[in-house]
Structure 1
Amino acid sequence: MNVKNKYTKLNMSHVPMILQMILNVCLVGMAAVLSALLIYETWTIFSLFFLNTDSDVSYYQFTDELLVFFLYFEFLALIIKYFEAHFHFPLRYFIYIGITAIIRLIIVDHDDAMHTFWWSLAIIALTGALFLSNARKSHGDH
């Protein structure tokens, strides 16, 4: 019975390591996909700005593409920080991504003033959370 408990404990101690490895492989795959999409988005912005002879391209379309670019960029930065911080996602990067996503939403879909107001309040709340997160971090450094 003692040998069986030792064997079970040994195998169970490997579970977090195996799951961490699976997570890391998936994140590297996601980083590759996001990198490809970031390159595609860069090409789309470049072609809208420099190669498009059609005057039908709107400011909103260009801004939308630019904000999607920054969303890809921020997700890649989040994955990089995850590995640099020894398998930890910094909270402030999620807040940056949330703020960017809401700004994109407001720019793309701003027909309803009440929805825009609520989304603006969400940005203020996220900015407050970012301030608290950074204040806690700087307070802990002293």
Structure 2
Amino acid sequence: ILDGAGFVAGLRAAGHDPRGASAYLAGAGGAANAIAFALAEAGVGRLTVHNRTPARVEDLFARLRRLHPALPLASAADPAGHDLVVNATSLGLRPDDPLPLDPAGLAADQLVAEIIMQPAKTPLLAAAAARGCRTHPGLPMLEGQLALMADFLRMRP
């Protein structure tokens, strides 16, 4: 699965290095797990995860602690106080989906990122932009994944 590595590659390609950042991750499913590990590998300073099922967060944390024991981990619903806010849920695919987090916790100094590619401007990204946040759509994750696949298959010089 290249979701995590592709997400981080997409961030970096857009000029956003997660090293040292405080990251908030909405979701604890398959893609979110991959992104959590990739963010840890990229050197985030701390990671907060929120999921509607707390047991999934604790399972993710147990696995993260084995490989990254020094990484500060927390579970919280509020994205306030984080440099990078990531929606790694499927919420936003449909127009009637609820938001994956309360945008009231967003501030203009945050980067809000999506993994959803369609629509390109999800309701979360629109809400974040309205609060003055920088936004990062889902397509760069796919572009990062494709570049990694091409490298693996030796299709790029």
The TM-score by the shorter chain falls in which range? under 0.3
Instruction: Indicate the structure with greater helix content.
Output: 1
Q: Who wins on radius of gyration, i.e. which is larger?
A: 1
Instruction: Indicate the structure with greater strand content.
Output: 2
Higher relative contact order (CA 8 A, sep 6+): 2
